[in-house]
Structure 1
């Protein structure tokens, strides 16, 4: 079995996969569609970060691919529906870099509130300007968190520990931690927050949701952070608000268009603006986070290959069945229609195959049944299962 790992993944990912007997090829940068189609010939496992797009076209052209790992929180770079239709299990790392993003957000809030970017720039120019003008503590200031998921909620707790008042808005019902206050609307949050920070996901519906209306609704002089997705924010509207002084400063880690690889040129209208911190999508890029992500996602890929576990898959039914010692395992992914489990067991019975253990899970249009059998697989039974109406993918694991 072969794996292709893109975008400088942590060496731990290679170590885990090679430890499972998988041949691993590493590639430093991202790939476009044509490059990826060529590279995936004969490859079963793909690992990527945020720059490479696993599109429906690539999926259709890669029949050997059985699983993809997004070594990141987001999965919008993967066409999850197309992958599911082809029986390709997708995994991500929803928690592994949470702390790193939170710490960076805190450091940027403090830097902007103390006007450190301005002082740093002036001192590099040889200008000594020791002054308290415009510099504040973050204690007692109101932090408005837009998106109260893993990152937003952990940031909430740490911000309170620093003495901040925390308010948040999320389109889903979320439990407020500690003394944080849930706001009924985004507009009500923007009217109160001294600092607004975005932590929303990359679903298509969020594209451009923070535009001129939202920026103009912020308090005069408020600070703005985006460590979520670049396409969530109207950059031109943000620039205009910074130039007018309506927004007092900003920290931006993600951009609508980003280079494919390290060293490529990058241009944004936010460059050279005072009290603006620009970083190259490094919110989760600490050695600790990348190591944890490498271990977490590579382990999910390995377990799917070895025992068919789809635990924490983002697009297939989730199940994990402890394998009976000495048994063989059949993993059958199928359309979620009535009678499939009965049909599977009927075919196995017809070929005198004894079932040791079995587990079924469904998700949307798909069903997934894992069956442990006592003896070696019967070719006739496998052919019957593969040709059953609704079969998406059949795998045999010993």
Structure 2
């Protein structure tokens, strides 16, 4: 009988699901905050169900000799060392959509609260004051709401705001014009949103691209009197710069549920009269807590009893029988998508995936998920094999699949073509008999490239001296080349090189190559080859 530990607070109904499914479960909600006790007992369990309090560190995973699955009731998995879990063969699951409505509703509630100064007015009235003239608010009707990030939660906020008769504009580089029209918003650039919006709400993950998206410089571009709501992630806004803008009146108010450091015991935003703050309550409703708890209990039970995988961040949703055959091809599908994602900065309109030969008889739905997840992971680290198709659909990306019998020298291959407003980009790959995936074609140019964690991709006109220039520059920069692949369209036409290197190529080396004037493109790439 599988044995599960629940180390954080989950609903009684979730506990009962495990028991009804014949799983031995220990409900110990205090263990999440007791590191020593967790380390002492974790070796006894096949499954660990958590929320945010339990920190599943590399040390915990090392002590978890029998652990097969970690289930996070909620979307965020910052408290789980996923690479360590993957190396040990432990599946990490989450519940990516259980909190969406609740978080969107909290953002709307915070918008009302800051517009009408409800917390301050409540505190004043409780104190026996009657300061009616002090709390002059503003209406939401006919105001312009700027939504940064129009994904799952952002699109729900948009629907609610339109129902409130607000004018909605959105900044989301990966939202297509077709999808924007479908959900009834105007797609704009970030500077336009900053200058036009009366209210701004953020709904993006925290990545290198979104960190401090409301920086001091961008806060200076805001429309005078704007109000800002952040129920997404701490670190999206420069809190000190915003506090200064709130004090001098450039920003009329702010409502924050998330902070750069949590638990937040201090912040530049605290104790300002025009700021509403809550302690990360976005998912804190009875319905959301129940939904994610029940969902994670069902998912973990299915895996422990039948091997079925749902909402896994480090394993595709395929059966155990399929996984043996498809494993290398699933890895290849993610590499192909990841290559496209790193090479493409504008929003995709369509992804066309061709399956040739033996791979065309496999579970193409799972392989499609691998391509889409690989492509989107650079911009959204929370994406997984299950949520990727939903996110692609919300972004208005059309995914098409073509099967064909073997047509070339390879027993099977996958070719991915991404279409944007201005171009098409394609890459193909196969799996060799040793089980290792390879890139075999880029932009229609045939190659044979081994895939490594760190790579460098260049394009140039086919002229003498490029190999020597690359080798010399990399050598002078202390970069060791493990594998070097070349290809060209025709003699003196376009040529490409793809290098597999031991370590990430330093920025000065990239700049030095660009400054030679010999290359049309120099692009460092990274791949998850674990």
TM-score between the two structures when normalised by the length of structure 1: 0.75
* Greater shift in the superposed pair: 90-99 or 268-277: 268-277
C-alpha distance 3-194 of structure 1, shift in aligned 2 (>3 A): same
Give unpaired runs (5+ residues) of structure 2: 331-361, 375-433, 436-530
- Closer, same or farther: CA 273–202 of 1 in aligned 2, 3 Å: same
1:147 aligns with 2:178: no
CA distance in 1, matches of 2:95, 2:211: 22
Following superposition of structure 1 onto structure 2, how do residues 1-398 of structure 1 map, counting pairs within 5 Å? 1-29=2-30, 30-31=32-33, 36-131=38-133, 134-174=136-176, 175-176=179-180, 177-183=182-188, 185-203=189-207, 206-259=210-263, 266-320=265-319, 332=324, 336=328, 363=370
Over 3 Å counting, the alpha-carbon distance change for 1:217 and 1:77 in structure 2 is farther
Distance 1:241 1:39 in 2: 50
Secondary structure in 2 matching 1:258 = coil
Q: Aligned Cα RMSD in Å?
A: 3.2
Distance of aligned partners of 1:319 and 1:254 in 2 relative to their CA distance in 1, 3 Å threshold: same
Question: Which structure 1 segments of 5+ residues have no match?
Answer: 260-264, 322-328, 339-357, 367-388, 391-398
Whether the 8 Å CA contact 1:308–1:331 is kept in 2: the answer is no
Partner Cα separation in structure 2 for residue 234 and residue 39 of structure 1: 41
Deviations 1:170-226 (A, max 9, x none): 24235224321112x322211111111111124465444433223222212111111
Contact 1:11–1:294, Cα closer than 8 Å, also in 2: no
Alpha-carbon distance change, 246 to 36 in structure 1, aligned in 2, over 3 angstroms: farther
Query: Which digits, 9 at most, give the CA deviation of each residue in 1:46-74, with x for residues without a partner?
Result: 12223433233432332321111111122
| Alpha-carbon spacing, 1:154–1:62, altered in 2? closer, same or farther (3 Å) | same
Deviation at 1:122, TM superposition (A): 2.4
SS state at 1:28 partner: coil
CA distance in structure 2 between the aligned counterparts of 1:22 and 1:204, rounded to whole angstroms: 41
Q: Structure 1: which 4+ aligned runs deviate by more than 6 Å? A: none
- Pair 34,277 (structure 1): closer, same or farther in 2 beyond 3 Å: same
Give me the whole-angstrom Cα distance separating, in 2, the residues matched to 1:300 and 1:214.
42
2-structure distance, mates of 1:46, 1:333: 28
Q: Does structure 1 conserve the Cα–Cα contact (< 8 Å) formed by 2:147 and 2:169?
A: yes
C-alpha distance in structure 2 between counterparts of 1:38 and 1:225, whole Å: 42
What is the SS of the residue equivalent to 2:254?
strand
Q: Distance in 2 between matches of 1:170 and 1:315?
A: 26
How far, CA to CA, are the matches of 2:227 and 2:278 in structure 1? 16
Residue 381 of structure 1 corresponds to which residue in structure 2? Answer: none
How many Å separate the matches in 2 of 1:118 and 1:75?
Answer: 34
**Worse-superposed segment, 138-147 or 306-315:** 306-315
Tell me, in whole angstroms, the C-alpha distance in 2 between the residues paired with 1:56 and 1:217. 43
Shift of 1:33: 5.8
| Cα distance between partner residues in 2 of 1:197 and 1:90 | 30
Q: 1 CA distance for matches of 2:261 and 2:34?
A: 14
Partner Cα separation in structure 2 for residue 66 and residue 96 of structure 1: 23
**Contact 2:95–2:311 (CA under 8 A) maintained in structure 1:** no
Q: In structure 2, do the counterparts of structure 1 residues 50 and 116 end up closer, same or farther at CA, with 3 Å as the change threshold?
A: same
Higher relative contact order (CA 8 A, sep 6+): 1
Against the structure 1 CA distance between its residues 359 and 57, is the aligned structure 2 distance closer, same or farther, given a 3 Å change threshold?
A: farther
Shift in CA distance, 99/242, structure 1 to aligned 2, threshold 3 Å: same
TM-score normalized by the length of structure 2? 0.58
**C-alpha distance in structure 2 between counterparts of 1:17 and 1:330, whole Å:** 26
Tell me the distance in 1 between the aligned counterparts of 2:37 and 2:243: 35
What is the distance in 2 between the residues matched to 1:252 and 1:154? Answer: 18
1:83 deviates by 2.3
Question: What is the total number of aligned residue pairs between the two structures?
Answer: 338
